[in-house]
């Protein structure tokens, strides 16, 4: 009998980390073989199940990612950009599939993933849910059907602890709108309006971010014209949707050729 793919969860104490631990341990298709936290975190050296307030799971949280990755077929990583870049090199060394949910990655982070993807599979998306990835496709289609008389605005809302804006999802949606319209997002992007901004530029794609309370993640793509408006909306009410998507990606990546992939590849959208 073939063993189930072994999964390591990085940032295991985080909001997504804990959801991933629950999702992997509940799955019949994978097993949890490691949990990584940053050096100095009070969970390091303790059993992950007990840290999360439940029964022992037989997996001790470590601050040594390479030791953990060496036992794994996949690493699921929802942490922070600098950590993710470090994990990409180590996951590639271990030839483990690296599923990246981390957002807020800048160009200098992203360019460091290329060398790792020469040796291993990397699957990265700013949102791992089926619903959002479908919304990305819908946004692209609607943008392609409408001209610049239709102003495009992406509005997102998240919990008070989120550190990056616009959200990774908002950027995916803005990119899809730009692709649909056949323009370069950076040329038309308008973020963070404040003060006397002047009238809206024709063809701009605007981004607005709300932060508050425990909002899991809400995204609207607004197409506003004279006399009518289309609003495409996704509301996440449970982080399990992201964890399920990430586990699906980790399993899909087994046996694939090294390279960079996204959730569109995984979901076949
Ligand atoms: N792609 C997607 O579907 C989703 C992406 N995210 C993204 O995932 C990331 C994490 O989100 P949350 O779980 O809400 O944040 P969080 O702050 O609750 O968790 C992050 C965890 O990473 C750990 N960490 C940071 N540096 C580390 C290192 N060097 N080594 C090991 N662990 C390290 C922290 O200690 C913390 O436990 C964010 O970038 C967020 O935007 C969140 C939800 C869905
Ligand atoms: O930080 C979060 O919480 C989320 N981050 C992702 C993003 O930046 O879009 C996905 C989801 O919206 C939750």
Question: What is the residue extent of each domain of the chain?
Answer: 6-128+239-267, 130-236
Instruction: Note the pLDDT tens digit of each residue in 116-161.
Output: 999 999 999 999 999 999 999 999 999 999 999 999 999 999 999 9
Tell whether domain 6-128+239-267 is in CATH 3.30.2350.10.
Answer: no
Q: One fold for both 6-128+239-267 and 130-236?
A: no
- 23/111 Cα distance (integer angstroms): 30
Which one of 99, 105, 126 would you pick to mutate in the ligand 2 pocket, going by the greatest count of ligand atoms within 8 A of its CB?
126
Give yes or no for a contact between 143 and 152, defined as CB atoms under 8 angstroms apart: yes
Instruction: Note the pLDDT tens digit of each residue in 24-79.
Output: 999 999 999 999 999 999 999 999 999 999 999 999 999 999 999 999 999 999 99
16-40 burial, b if ≥16 CB within 10 A, otherwise e? bbbbbbbbbbebeebbbbbbbbeee
* Omega within 30 of 0 (cis) for the link into 157: no
Q: Is 133 labeled as ligand-binding?
A: no
In sequence order, the β-bridge partners of residue 151 are 224
- CA 202 from centroid of its chain's CA atoms: 30
Q: Is 128 labeled as ligand-binding?
A: yes
Pocket of ligand 2 contains residue 217 by CB under 6 Å: yes
User: Whole-model pTM?
Assistant: 0.98
Question: SS3 for 79?
Answer: coil
Active-site amino acid positions: 158, 162
Give yes or no for a contact between 126 and 135, defined as CB atoms under 8 angstroms apart: no
Mean predicted lDDT score pLDDT of the chain? 98
pLDDT score recorded for residue 1 = 55
Give yes or no for a contact between 107 and 128, defined as CB atoms under 8 angstroms apart: no
| Pair of tokens at residue 34 | 């490691």
Alpha carbon of 149 to ligand 2 centroid (Å) = 30
- ipTM of this complex prediction, to 2 decimal places: 0.99
Phi first, then psi: what are they for 11, rounded to 5°? 60, 45
- 242 pLDDT above the threshold of 80: yes
| Pair of tokens at residue 218 | 């809400």
Alpha carbon of 168 to ligand 2 centroid (Å) = 6
Count of beta carbons in the 10 Å neighbourhood of residue 194: 5
Find all residues with CB under 8 Å of 54, minimum gap 6, and list them.
none
Give yes or no for a contact between 244 and 26, defined as CB atoms under 8 angstroms apart: no
Residue whose pair of structure tokens reads 């908002």 in the numeric block: 170
Instruction: Note the pLDDT tens digit of each residue in 176-191.
Output: 999 999 999 999 999 9
CATH number for the segment(s) 130-236: 3.30.360.10
């Amino acid at each position: 009998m073939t063993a189930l793919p072994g999964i390591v969860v990085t940032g295991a104490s985080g909001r997504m980390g804990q959801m991933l631990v629950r999702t992997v341990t509940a799955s019949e298709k994978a097993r949890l073989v490691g949990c990584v936290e940053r050096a100095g975190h009070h969970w390091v050296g303790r059993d992950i199940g007990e840290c999360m307030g439940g029964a022992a799971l037989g997996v001790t949280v470590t601050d040594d990612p390479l030791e953990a990755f060496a036992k794994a077929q996949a690493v699921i990583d929802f942490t922070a950009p600098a950590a993710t870049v470090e994990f990409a090199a180590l996951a590639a060394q271990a030839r483990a599939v690296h599923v990246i949910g981390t957002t807020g990655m800048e160009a200098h982070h992203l360019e460091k993933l290329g060398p790792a993807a020469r040796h291993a599979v990397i699957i990265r998306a700013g949102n791992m849910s089926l619903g959002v990835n479908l919304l990305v496709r819908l946004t692209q289609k609607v943008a392609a059907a409408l001209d610049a008389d239709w102003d495009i605005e992406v509005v997102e809302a998240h919990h008070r602890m989120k550190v990056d804006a616009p959200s990774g999802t908002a950027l995916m949606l803005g990119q899809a709108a730009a692709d649909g319209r056949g323009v370069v997002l950076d040329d038309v992007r308008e973020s963070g309006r404040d003060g006397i901004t002047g009238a809206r530029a024709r063809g701009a794609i605007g981004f607005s971010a709300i932060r508050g309370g425990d909002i899991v993640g809400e995204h609207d793509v607004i197409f506003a014209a004279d006399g009518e408006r289309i609003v495409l909306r996704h509301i996440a009410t449970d982080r399990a949707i992201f964890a399920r998507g990430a586990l699906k990606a980790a399993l899909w990546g087994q046996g694939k050729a090294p390279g960079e992939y996204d959730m569109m590849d995984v979901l076949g959208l």
